[in-house]
Amino acid sequence: MWIDTHVHLDAPEFAADLPAVVGRARAAGVAQMVIPAIGTVDFDAVRELAHRYRLTYALGIHPLLSGSEPDDALERLQQALQVHRDDPRLVAVGEIGLDFFVEGLDRQRQEDLYTGQLKLARHYGLPVLLHSRRAVDAVLKHLRRIEVPGGIAHAFNGSLQQATRFVERGFRLGFGGALTFERALQIRRLAQQVPVEAIVTETDAPDIPPQWLYKTAEQRAAGARSRNEPAELPRIAGVLAALRGLPVDELAARTRDNAGAVLPRLLAVTDADDA
């Protein structure tokens, strides 16, 4: 059984055929998925999808939306967490974090939203799903100040030292399609070096397509599109298993346990659905 700990099923790319997308994932052995919100307007949508398809979800505000969120965004998140605090399918606060790669974003606004969301996660006893792009040290700095019940560093691409700091704080590291590229030396090296107990699997679909779905700039300019799907997770994980020299079945079991350890509600609701 595979778990996709990060997939945006509410994205417009899936609007036309979402039942088929979920069906293909389940047929491929992806038994559970986590759908993170990226803004206040997504809160109802991700929750509805999780209940409709017997999946799980997270509520949070993505740093890339920090400039377009209303002034009362944190209050809206707090209200949603309060209303749904007992929903077993609500497994985390996310997707939250910092992004210093995209130009034009207000860093102070990002940090205010990020730290406010860490405080909400701490208050409600929920782990967090972290976005960090060229901002790992800043993300860790605030985690040292505002302790939360662990979480997942999504699409992790920092150093081994930074990875160790996350693991020491009870976090797992999300690996997905990026590691399938032979030239992604840093991510592939990390996937081999970090403890297997620290690894969870993800797709970030429809984004971060694996190598076999990737389209070049020329192909994209000609109209070709590349949509990642959660059904790709077992093949992505097969590359990860080969990098680590592990049997695929063992990796599936280990990453399932890792996801359940850091997102305690996830396996409970999955087991209840299967009962």
Peptide bond into 147 cis (omega under 30): no
Q: Which residues pair with 171 in a beta bridge?
A: 151
Distance CA 62, CA 114 (A): 9
What's the number of CA atoms in the CB half-sphere (13 Å) around residue 136?
16
How far, CA to CA in Å, does 57 sit from each of 4, 5, 92, 96, 122? 11, 10, 7, 13, 18
User: Binding residue per annotation — 273?
Assistant: no
Bridge-based pairing of strands 171-175 and 199-201 is: parallel
Which of these, 169, 156, 130, 126, lies nearest to 264 by C-alpha position?
A: 126
User: Binding residue per annotation — 154?
Assistant: yes
Distance CA 231, CA 195 (A): 25
Distance CA 21, CA 67 (A): 31
Q: Which residues pair with 151 in a beta bridge?
A: 128, 171
Place of tokens 């606060």: 93
Residue 141 structure tokens: 């700095």
* CB distance 203 to 233 below 8 Å: yes
User: Binding residue per annotation — 6?
Assistant: yes
User: Binding residue per annotation — 84?
Assistant: no
Distance CA 246, CA 255 (A): 12
User: Binding residue per annotation — 62?
Assistant: no
Vertex 18 angle, CA 269 and 248, to 5°: 60
Give the DSSP H or E segment for 33.
Answer: strand 30-36
User: Binding residue per annotation — 86?
Assistant: no
* Annotated binding residues: 6, 8, 95, 131, 154, 204
Annotated binding site for a divalent metal cation: 6, 8, 95, 131, 154, 204
